[in-house]
């Protein structure tokens, strides 16, 4: 049980690391268009994020695929920016035919890239053969899922409070959060080490 808790906590705390706030920004960008009643769509997106993350982490553990940290650090803010811009560009369009296909693809890609980035840290924790890393991998992924759910619930609660008590329209809330997220990640893209030759 203690080993489970160690790896579960690693996954749980990863989302709350103040230096790795890009996960929170991404979840904000992805969930801001939705409300509690859209829980099925949110569950699909969180599941895609987790599936991509876990699959990429597993492939990396078995040395099937690896990626440089600088590339991960460059692609992640781009995917966050795409999500935020998608929200802004989708404002005013009919939500009755709301299709999550595009954002589902972006979420899956984000999960994969994030998993490959997390693999650099995870593989450094365990110097054992790949098959011995599988159980800790799934335990940390479970912690990661729980942390995602916490972030999503907090984001939905904040949206509810702001829109209900402060009477801010859903459109304005989406615009404010998406613009905020874009404003945070654009400098990350500009300052990326990928530009340094």
pLDDT at 97: 47
DSSP character at residue 36 = G
pLDDT at 118: 86
Nearest 5°: phi and psi at 191? -90, 5
What whole-number distance in Å separates Cα of residue 39 and Cα of residue 162? 19
What whole-number distance in Å separates Cα of residue 32 and Cα of residue 96? 17
Q: Per residue of the chain (197 residues), what is the pLDDT tens digit?
A: 578 888 899 888 877 776 678 889 999 999 999 999 999 999 999 999 999 999 998 998 888 988 888 999 899 999 999 999 999 999 877 554 466 789 999 999 999 999 998 888 887 777 778 788 888 888 998 998 999 999 999 999 999 999 999 999 999 999 999 999 999 999 999 999 888 86
What whole-number distance in Å separates Cα of residue 177 and Cα of residue 87? 9
Q: Distances in Å between the alpha carbon of 129 and those of 36, 43, 56, 59?
A: 42, 33, 17, 14
Alpha helices in the chain (DSSP H): 2-16, 22-31, 39-61, 69-90, 101-125, 130-165, 170-190
pLDDT at 21: 84
Q: Distances in Å between the alpha carbon of 114 and those of 22, 75, 165, 166, 184?
A: 10, 9, 35, 35, 18
């Amino acid at each position: 049980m203690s080993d489970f808790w160690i790896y579960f906590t690693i996954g749980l705390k990863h989302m709350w690391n103040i230096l790795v706030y890009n996960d929170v920004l991404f979840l904000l960008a992805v969930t801001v268009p939705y409300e509690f009643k859209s829980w099925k769509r949110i569950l699909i997106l969180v599941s895609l994020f987790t599936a991509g993350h876990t699959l990429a982490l597993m492939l990396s553990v078995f040395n099937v695929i690896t990626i440089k940290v600088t590339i991960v650090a460059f692609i992640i803010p781009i995917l966050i920016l795409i999500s935020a811009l998608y929200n802004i560009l989708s404002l005013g369009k009919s939500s009755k035919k709301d299709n999550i296909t595009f954002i589902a693809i972006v979420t899956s890609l984000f999960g994969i890239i994030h998993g490959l980035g997390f693999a650099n840290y995870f593989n450094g924790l365990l110097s054992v053969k790949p098959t011995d890393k599988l159980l800790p991998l799934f335990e940390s992924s479970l912690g990661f899922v729980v942390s995602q759910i916490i972030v999503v619930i907090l984001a939905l609660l904040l949206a509810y409070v702001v829109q209900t008590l402060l009477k801010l329209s859903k459109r304005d809330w989406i615009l404010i959060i998406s613009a905020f997220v874009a404003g945070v990640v654009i400098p990350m893209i500009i300052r990326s080490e990928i530009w340094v030759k």
